[in-house]
Structure 1
Amino acid sequence: MPTTQDMTTDLDPGLLDALQHQVAVFARRAEQTRLGGVGQVRNSMDRAAYLLLNRLDQEGPMGVKALAAGMGIDSSTVTRQVAPLVDTGLVKRTSHPEDGRAVVLQLSPRGQARLEEVRSSRRELMRQVTDGWTEEERESFCTLLTRFNSALSARQAGLPAAEQEAAASGS
């Protein structure tokens, strides 16, 4: 079984150092700015709320377990993060259509409007930050960042290296 050292000897250590440094800088800047958009909406929604609302919008109503599994986090974390969204009327709890005993979470009309407001602000931030990039550069960056995030997610899930690469490349 090759060691971590064996696996990196064929790769340029300077390039790997530069990559890890740029990822660290990105993480710091993303946290500092929270990439929260522009204007009055800037930083008006935390990352957890945005990701939860976005998932409910894209995938429709679902239970806490399904939401947690899809986001790769614990059900208790989702429950804790959803509570203020329910309290503020952005998410509603409803009975499952097939099993009235089960509860599903769904985006409320207010949540939909708020999510679109935040999305629009964040979309404008991305436009400003990538001003001067070509459409192909934006697409390439998005593709590579998606692949990078998929590889990190697969690694966090404990998948073997071959499965991590497959998950990262979308195979």
Structure 2
Amino acid sequence: MVAFNSLFGLGRMAVGLLAAAWLMATPLASQAQDNKSVDEMAAQAQRALQKGQPREAESLLRKAIEAEPTRAELYMLRSRARDSSGKFDAALDDANKYIELEPNDAFGYLNRSRIYISMEKPESALADATKAIELEPNEPDGYYRRSDIYKEMGKKAEAKADEDKADQLDRS
């Protein structure tokens, strides 16, 4: 009788494990489908931006973010779309969310720097360009951005130094 109960217990455990595996696999398959559709929406949004249709891109990205709210690159892309549409405060919100999710990505700070330029906040733009350079000192884009900001601020020597550094990095 003990052997039967042991076998019966093992049988129930096996059925339970199979059921658990099936229940776990179902959401994974669904999640894989969701990832694919989010990837497609992101690709469509990118194409819309390239065609000069930032509002279409923003709409697609809203849906993508609803499906996957922790995918940082979606916020980066939507911030670009919103910046292109003149929705600077909303663009800044998305840029901040991207940086929250990816605090060590220099391009997040360069993106937010561009938005600050659109908002005519040169000091904030300068701080973000400098942060991008700190994170990626061998990336010329940070120096080019900071050079442009310095030019706008009338700081010709600083602008020239950063432009020279960016050109040097581009050549190497």
- TM-score normalised to the size of structure 1? 0.32
Question: Which structure has more strand as a fraction of its residues?
Answer: 1
Query: Would you tell me which structure has more helix in proportion to its own residues?
Result: 2
Structure possessing the higher relative contact order (Cα contacts under 8 Å, 6 or more residues apart): 1
Q: TM-score scaled by structure 2?
A: 0.31
Select the structure of larger CA radius of gyration.
2
